[in-house]
Amino acid sequence: MNPKDINLPGYEIPEELKHVIAITALDRLYNWGRRSSVWPLMFGLACCAIEMIATQAARYDLARFGMEVMRPTPRQADLMIVAGTVTKKMVPAIVRLYNQMPEPKYVLAMGACASSGGPFKEGYNVVAGIDKFLPVDVYVPGCPPTPQALINGLILLQKKIDKESIKQVRWYRKGPDSVAIPIPVLGPDLIDTRRIPDIKAHTLSSTSKTDDQS
């Protein structure tokens, strides 16, 4: 570790001890460790995934961010890069993978499709953004975003991690934030089970209106 990376200003260390002592805050050390070893989950959904693959290749070299290890299992991944069109058929699998990732975990929506549905927004089979189901930390615009844009998104994620505090992060707290996201049900359409009370209320009100008219 380079002491310049973690030393806090205002705490001067005697010259003769500078090579053996570093003074820092626990948050800074903790965040430094996590921001420098974010392992992405290895999966892609459509054309944006090709740019994600290019970002991992030698020309752009994510190893300098400590992110070169793409894990084929969610159990060992910290970051889900949703790269491509999110179809309704894929959403239950994506949510299941997210639930299987251990905390701390982050989500990056790569490209117009993952952020908002993109050119397929009105499509019968497409979800208008993965943020309808998962908490997205960083959005990367573009169709497709270039590798440079993805790298910028990853740097933004690092900046976000830098601001976290060990006393407030959700994975050390009890409460609704730590609860797994219910897997959506794919039938004739995709149903978000969290919205079943709304769907029931809407159905009942439409039925009563029809009864009144007849």
Span near ligand SF4 by CB under 6 A; candidates 42-50, 88-96, 164-172, 190-198: 42-50
Q: How many CB atoms lie within 10 A of CB 116?
A: 17
Per CB under 6 A, 143 contacts ligand SF4: yes
If the CB atoms of residues 74 and 129 are measured against ligand SF4, the closer one turns out to be: 129
Cβ pair 186, 194 in contact under 8 A: no
Q: Report which of 97, 82, 157, 96 is spatially closest to residue 127, judged by C-alpha positions.
A: 82
**Please, what's the largest Cα pairwise distance for the chain?**
91
Asked if 118 touches ligand SF4 (CB under 6 A), the answer is yes
C-alpha span between 185 and 170 (Å, rounded): 27
Q: Give the range of 21-29, 40-48, 133-141, 150-158 binding ligand SF4 by CB under 6 A.
A: 40-48
In the complex, minimum distance from the CB of residue 52 to ligand SF4, in angstroms, rounded to a whole number: 10
Binding residue for ligand SF4 (CB under 6 A) from 22, 38, 41, 46? 46
39 burial (CB, 10 Å; 0-12 / 13-18 / 19+) is: middle
Contact residues for ligand SF4, defined by CB under 6 A:
46-48, 84-85, 111-113, 118-119, 143-144
